[in-house]
Structure 1
């Protein structure tokens, strides 16, 4: 049985109890700012929490943001509705958005979802149908680089692409599909020189477990942490795919986790309020907790 940690033995806080994200996603730790960022997809909002002062800021965007990653030259790279964008947040709640690319296979009613950079700074993200009730595997996984632009699909037939992460050495890529018709996590061998995944294999079948696989993070022991949406859990799997730890969180629908803080030993977990009871104070909350292990900082986009 996995080691079970419950909220009474971990530090559980909500940055702002009045912030309830419709679909909270894509937490990021920006070390030089000592700040956390995350997004509310349906509200088209970027949130920022100053870890030292506790001050919170927000910015509105013209499109839904599925994911963001820091960019080495400043700002963020993001997967949105109409493609990949460079975003700068500026004073007055304004976001300067520059459209970089759109997939050749893009279609109406779709958007980018989960995404992050590999260890070499290439940006990866996948598409999904906005209406999850449509049981059609129309999503694809793409790679974007400044030099090559957006790729052709590397992986297709995805319902709700999620769970992207890379092992500490970058040689294993993880990917999940959150849809009830899938609920699978895969591992791939990853060529760090070419940025190419191959040898796709089943890592975990979560149909046999509580919750659906959502967003993920990697710790310094090479273990894969993934939010179990609908189950109120964050799960840790060893590189061999063995469940060895789980943390109960106060939100039923956690979405994505990210390591951060000065020692990279804090886990931020975002969640969904949409469809939850109006009096559920934790639905849509974004929390910080101590998982008992350090993680890795997110790699910045190399562009």
Structure 2
């Protein structure tokens, strides 16, 4: 029995699907299946069975799951304590982030971080809020950057910044010509380009509901950069965090502010607690917090 097998089992139990769990772990599905089979052989019992809707735990699997989680948690704490003895951070640190953060903020931050800590390997991934929270809680990620509030009470959050949501519209759009901030109620008849699960999407849906209008969704995306490109091509408008529109002057879209009191988001760095962080994870956490604090005062 090894940690990779335990991680495979815990991940499959959480996701309920081999394909999803394999993707999250960065392994092939056949490789994941072999790890699970080896674990079952070692234990001498079936832990999982395939069902039409995915994979379900057997009674033995349900009984073994909390023990597997505790074993991985104990290993993480032990690793973190040993890492604290190392004066020079090194090794891998895993950081998850919302797409808007991963695409438009992390590249420059990670470049600067690597310049200071060349022996640390950042392992970055993007995802939706609930997924990232779950991966931190399970120990799969050391840190994540998500919007507040948190869904879970067992995680620690440190606020990084707060920003408004703004409208990205095709160049020369009628909303641009108004030359003033607009109410979201003025946008409900527009074709919309959205990423399901984003805070801007929720705000637009709420505005449409308030006006008794069904949202005119022109395109659904799963890519932040793809969403901006759809706006540039005139397919619709999008409500985005200001972070995603900083370079709009050099791109083919305009930015229209929303009236005072409009939607905003608070962004935080999240982890399970200092005792779970390796030296590398603590170095990255401190670096991100300090870098963003300096940028606010420049």
| Greater length-normalized contact order (CA 8 Å, ≥ 6 residues apart) | 2
Q: Which of structures 1 and 2 has the bigger CA Rg?
A: 2
More helix by share: 2
